[in-house]
Amino acid sequence: MFPLQDPPVPVEGLTHTQQLLADDPIWLVLIKVVGLFGLGVVLTLFMINWERKVVGRMQHRPGPNRTGPGGWLQSLADGLKLAFKEDIMPAMADKKVYFIAPVISTIPAFVAFSVIPFGGEVTIFGERTVLQLVDLPVGVLVVLACSSIGVYGIVLGGWASGSPYSLIGALRSAAQVISYEIALGLSVVGVVLYARSMSTRDIVESQAAGWYFWLLIPSFVVFVISMVGETNRAPFDLPEAESELVGGFHTEYSSLKFALFFLAEYVNMVTVSAMAVTLFLGGGMWPWPLSFLNAYGWLQFLAFVVKILLFLFVFIWLRGTLPRFRYDQFMKLGWKVLVPVMLAWIVAIFGIRAFVSTGGSNVTLLLALIGFAVAVVLAVAFLLPDRPTEPAPVEPASDYPVPPLDLKVPDSPPKRRKAVTAGKDAQ
């Protein structure tokens, strides 16, 4: 049988995957671009409906069950409803920035899909290729950069709305991304050290002998916590806390502009879930009993989607079970727990790697390095002083009579019950 296409001419400095991607014709690149966009939109529609159904089951109530078979077209109906709603713009809004902010928030979420390997080698209309748009040597940095740029749309949208609620939500989102982006980046360092590459494809291939989920458990746990905070999801949904800020940064948005913010949030959830699968769960690789399926590229794509759905279920699970954090608790978790733990863990990884590479047998040195890292974590987490628990008294702002601000409730209730009991006995 003759081959469907001529084998690619090898180019020095390019890997096999990069060579296949470089030989993709323009029509195949366009198919991949449209496919990635469609995958993001379809997973968003599915995720919205799935979230409502799962949370409904958790709260013992029915979820969407009217529109479409089993209610599965409810997300599509909601999207069409938003498209036909009236587009209202506040009178005090900066019109240009107000219009472009949702676009800035949405585009980076889709761009991050371009470097994620969704499967192995496949044949599409006779062309041998890989289920990935581009394989960059710094693919991990591209995903981190896209997640950081997306917050610009949230900040600009909150500022341009001319509303104090929107502005406070935008500032919260900026502080939240700065705090948890550091922990997210530090959690990736261990994976890069073991894979010796920042290419997402190389990281997946380096997990052929074992997933990093088992080897780098602290990095995996911190990555999962940070990606929930990075996407402004419950219990870290402080930028859009309806009990405090009405709707947060998108309070003044309606119609398709609000739909773009909504789309960006759910596409970001899919992106960070795909990144977690790539870094810690071997990408599209099947686990040990089904390892023989790794020879088929489309089956790898199926495994990748199943793993993404696993992480998306974690998002839903957290929203249905945990209350929203207070802002001070949220920031303390990021700066006093996650970041110090990751710094100590990176020091331990460097020590272990140095110990293994030198071939030494001094186990005492290895244990001493790990003990030092743990001591640093404990010192940072428990020895730093907390904020004062009793705020200073504040003078009243008006002459209207108010109770004294230094009034304290007694530790024990008055002995009124005994007196009442004694009176009844006397009667």
CA–CA distance, 79 with 260 (Å, rounded to integer): 10
Q: What is the span of the domain harbouring residue 199?
A: 16-68+77-321
CA–CA distance, 318 with 367 (Å, rounded to integer): 36
- Note whether 381 and 305 are same-domain residues: no
CA 73 distance to own-chain centroid: 26
Asked if the structure places residue 414 within a domain, the reply is no
- Note whether 264 and 288 are same-domain residues: yes
Asked if the structure places residue 403 within a domain, the reply is no
3 state DSSP class of 129 = strand
Widest pairwise Cα distance in the chain: 111
- CB neighbours of residue 164 within 10 Å: 11
Are the CB atoms for 312 and 154 separated by under 8 Å? no
The residue out of 293, 321, 349 marking a domain boundary is 321
Asked if the structure places residue 420 within a domain, the reply is no
Nearest to 251 by CA among 154, 106, 107: 154
Are the CB atoms for 284 and 303 separated by under 8 Å? yes
- Note whether 344 and 280 are same-domain residues: no
Give the DSSP per-residue string, 200-245.
HHHHHHTTSS--HHHHTHHHHHHHHHHHHHHTT-TTS-GGG-HHHH
- Note whether 365 and 304 are same-domain residues: no
Q: Which residue has the tokens 């940095």?
A: 141
Q: What is the pLDDT along the chain (427 residues), one digit of tens a residue?
A: 334 444 455 555 577 787 888 888 999 999 999 999 999 999 999 999 999 999 999 989 988 988 889 899 999 999 899 888 888 888 888 888 988 999 998 999 899 989 999 988 888 888 899 989 988 889 999 999 888 888 888 888 888 888 888 888 888 888 888 888 899 999 999 899 889 899 999 999 999 888 888 888 888 999 999 999 888 887 888 777 777 777 778 888 888 888 888 888 899 999 999 999 999 998 889 887 888 888 888 999 999 999 999 999 999 999 888 888 888 888 888 888 889 888 888 888 887 777 777 766 555 566 566 656 666 665 666 555 555 555 555 555 556 666 666 666 666 655 555 555 555 566 5
- Note whether 162 and 120 are same-domain residues: yes
- Note whether 366 and 292 are same-domain residues: no
- Note whether 231 and 347 are same-domain residues: no
The residue out of 321, 346, 372 marking a domain boundary is 321
The number of domains in the chain is 2
Are the CB atoms for 179 and 235 separated by under 8 Å? no
The residue out of 304, 321, 338 marking a domain boundary is 321
| Runs of H (alpha helix) within 59-138 | 74-83, 95-111
- Note whether 116 and 208 are same-domain residues: yes
In degrees, to the nearest 5, what angle opens at C-alpha 277 toward C-alphas 268 and 353?
120
Asked if the structure places residue 283 within a domain, the reply is yes
The DSSP bridge partners found for residue 122 are: 129
- Note whether 290 and 370 are same-domain residues: no
- Contacts by residues 255-258 (CB-CB < 8 Å, ≥ 24 positions apart): 255/82, 255/83, 255/85, 255/86, 255/87, 255/88, 256/82, 256/83, 256/87, 257/87, 257/98, 257/99, 257/102, 258/82, 258/102
Asked if the structure places residue 351 within a domain, the reply is yes
In degrees, to the nearest 5, what angle opens at C-alpha 312 toward C-alphas 309 and 313?
90
CA–CA distance, 356 with 371 (Å, rounded to integer): 17
- CB neighbours of residue 2 within 10 Å: 4
- Note whether 335 and 317 are same-domain residues: no
Q: What is the Cα Rg of the chain in Å?
A: 27
Cis omega (within 30 of 0) for bond into 235? yes
Asked if the structure places residue 309 within a domain, the reply is yes
The DSSP bridge partners found for residue 128 are: 123
- Note whether 231 and 199 are same-domain residues: yes
Are the CB atoms for 147 and 230 separated by under 8 Å? yes
C-alpha separations of 278 from 53, 207, 213, 305, 343 in Å: 28, 10, 10, 11, 22
Helices first, then strands: H and E counts in the chain = 16, 2
Residues 6+ apart with CB under 8 A from 337: 381
Asked if the structure places residue 275 within a domain, the reply is yes
- Note whether 175 and 28 are same-domain residues: yes
Asked if the structure places residue 392 within a domain, the reply is no
